[in-house]
Structure formats: structure tokens, C-alpha cells
Amino acid sequence: MLKTVIPLLIGIALIYYQFSSFTETELKRIKDYFREANYFYVFLSIFISLFGYWSRAYRWKYSLNHLGYQPKFYNSFFAVSISYLLNLTIPRSGEISRAVILKNYEGVPFDKGFGTIVAERVVDLLIFLLFVITAFLIQFEKINTFIFSHISPHKIALLFGIALAGMILFLFLWRWSKWSFILKIKSKFNGLVEGMTSILKMKTKWKYLAHSFFIWFSYLMMFYVCVFSIPETASISFDIVIMGFIFGTLAVGFTNGGIGAFPISIAKVLLLYGIAEDAGTALGWIIWTSQTILTIVLGLISYLLLNLFNKN
């Protein structure tokens, strides 16, 4: 319950904070941006996103095939779409739902299915880090200004210390604890490891990696084409787009589906490059709203079709 409510409350608070800081004139301009936006690029963005859904579902089959399972593509696609929808409610609950759906409809053991999903997340994280490193090298001064203008060095050191202490505590419990729930987790760990290491052993690992890069390319292009929907952002350079994409991606994990956090992060990043905050806010909300509507509609349709396609 808290995993749902707390991020949602943070998102609502961010929305209130952002819009309460605008004047009446700026709020009117934001409404005008929405009304006068070129929605051809918004719908093009949604269309590109569908390729990302397709590729993520198709990529999944390579690791599952390596483990000896042959799930139907439509079940994989439905599971991916439903997982995106559930992630809007409880962050990361979608990953569990994907494994549960394949267990129920394709007979894939939960621990092995979930292991392949964890492996996907590891690969996705590494690719995202490539974006971060690239942006860091290109825009070092801007990134440094953005981070330290919002988070003090003392807070960064404190967060690092807390994370380090948590990791040490976890390793200690994992190695020496005799608690029953720790032992149960260990018993399931072999299935997870098998799923996670399937990427390195599979014959089709290069196709798997090609789809992984294509997924992130589709995410970036989805973000990029929306930039042209507003005249004030249509002329920004591609390196600025990458910056907005990185901080927007980070914001998605901060609250439920990035509500509140995504638009404000886009506005703050673009403000560093001279884009008015009201224009950046409008762009952030246009991207977030269009993608959230797609997630909800596709997730609900997939939920209905999952039962229809598997009625026997």
C-alpha cells in the first residue's frame, strides 16, 4: 500500500509545486501550448512507442527459448503491455506480473521467467548507462550545474553512505542469516540465476542485444519527435534532447509512472538551455500524457485479449 501511496503523493505534491510557481500569464501560455501543439508529432511518437512494445516482447522469446520454452508471441506482448500498466500503480509490480502471466498461460516456472526479466533489466540498465556516459562527456558542465543546483554535496555523500550501509547489511544477512524467508529466497535463487545467465549462453545473444538497442532507440525517438510539437522546442539540438531523455527516464522511476516528476524534470533541464519553463513544462506534460494514455489503453486491451486468446 505504501509503495503505491507514497510515490503518488510525491507526484501530486510535485504537480502542485510546479503549477503554483507559475503566474496566470504563464499558465495561460501552457494551455495555449497544449491547444496549438502539432499533434501529428505526438501521434507519431505514440506509433514509434508501439515498436518498443513489440521489440521488448519479441526479445523476451530469445531467453525463454534458450531455457526450453516456446511461448506464443501474443501472450508475451500482452504480458509486456499489462506490466507497463501495472507499473503505473505499484512501481516495478509489472515485472512480477509478466512472470505470473507466462506461468499461468505458458507454463514457464515463475523463478525462471522472472530471472529472464531481471536479466533484461540488467541489460537495459547498461544501455541506459551508455546514454548517461555519452551525455556526461558531451554536456559535463551542464550536468554538473543541474545536479549540484538541486542536491548539495553533503546530501549526495549521505545518500551514498546510506546505500553502502544497506548493501553491507544485505550481504551480511544473505551470507550468514538462518531466517526462514532468507533461506526460501536462496532456494529460488538458482532459477533466477539460470534465467539471468541465459543471455550469455544463448545462441541468439546478438539478436537479443540488437533488440535491446532497438528498444532504447525507439524510446529516444519517441521523445525526440515530440520536441517538434511545440515551436519553442522544435529547434533544440539532439544533445539537448538526450539530456532531457536521460532525466525524464530517471524521473519515471521516482513516482508512479513519472507523474509530476517527468514534466518537472524536462522543464528544469530545458531551462538550463534557455527554453522558457512554461514551454518545457508543456512539452513534458504532452509527452507524459500521450505515453500514459497509450500505456493505459494498450494495457487494458491486452488484459481483455489475454483471456480471449486463451479461452481454451
pLDDT tens figures, 155-167: 777 877 888 888 8
Phi/psi of residue 237, nearest 5 degrees? -75, 165
10 Å CB burial of residue 222 (0-12, 13-18, 19+) is buried
Q: Is 310 helix (H, G, I), strand (E, B) or coil?
A: coil
With a cut of 60, say whether residue 134 has pLDDT above it.
yes
Q: What's the pLDDT score for residue 193?
A: 64
**pTM for the structure as a whole:** 0.81
With a cut of 90, say whether residue 89 has pLDDT above it.
no
10 Å CB burial of residue 251 (0-12, 13-18, 19+) is buried
The predicted-structure confidence for 175-197, as pLDDT tens digits, reads as follows: 666 666 666 666 656 655 655 66
With a cut of 70, say whether residue 297 has pLDDT above it.
yes
Contacts of residue 306, Cβ cutoff 8 Å, sequence gap at least 6: 75, 78, 79, 82, 101, 105
Return the higher-pLDDT residue of 16 and 218.
Answer: 218
Residue 62: CB atoms within 10 A of its CB come to 20
Q: What's the pLDDT score for residue 98?
A: 92
Distance CA 222, CA 218 (A): 6
Quick one: pLDDT band at residue 212, thresholds 50, 70, 90? very high
Q: What's the pLDDT score for residue 203?
A: 84
Distance CA 152, CA 167 (A): 23
Quick one: pLDDT band at residue 46, thresholds 50, 70, 90? very high
Return the higher-pLDDT residue of 265 and 15.
Answer: 265
Distance CA 270, CA 241 (A): 9
Contacts of residue 14, Cβ cutoff 8 Å, sequence gap at least 6: 255, 260, 261, 264
Q: What's the pLDDT score for residue 189?
A: 63
10 Å CB burial of residue 7 (0-12, 13-18, 19+) is buried
Distance CA 258, CA 280 (A): 16
Distance CA 158, CA 13 (A): 24
C-alpha pair distances (Å), 280 with each of 77, 118, 131, 276, 311: 33, 34, 21, 6, 46
What string of DSSP letters covers 38-105? -HHHHHHHHHHHHHHHHHHHHHHHHHHHHTT----HHHHHHHHHHHHHHHTTSTTHHHHHHHHHHHHH
Contacts of residue 217, Cβ cutoff 8 Å, sequence gap at least 6: none
Q: Are 264 and 60 in contact (CB under 8 A)?
A: no
Quick one: pLDDT band at residue 74, thresholds 50, 70, 90? very high
Torsion of the alpha carbons at 78, 81, 84 and 88, rounded to the nearest 10: -90
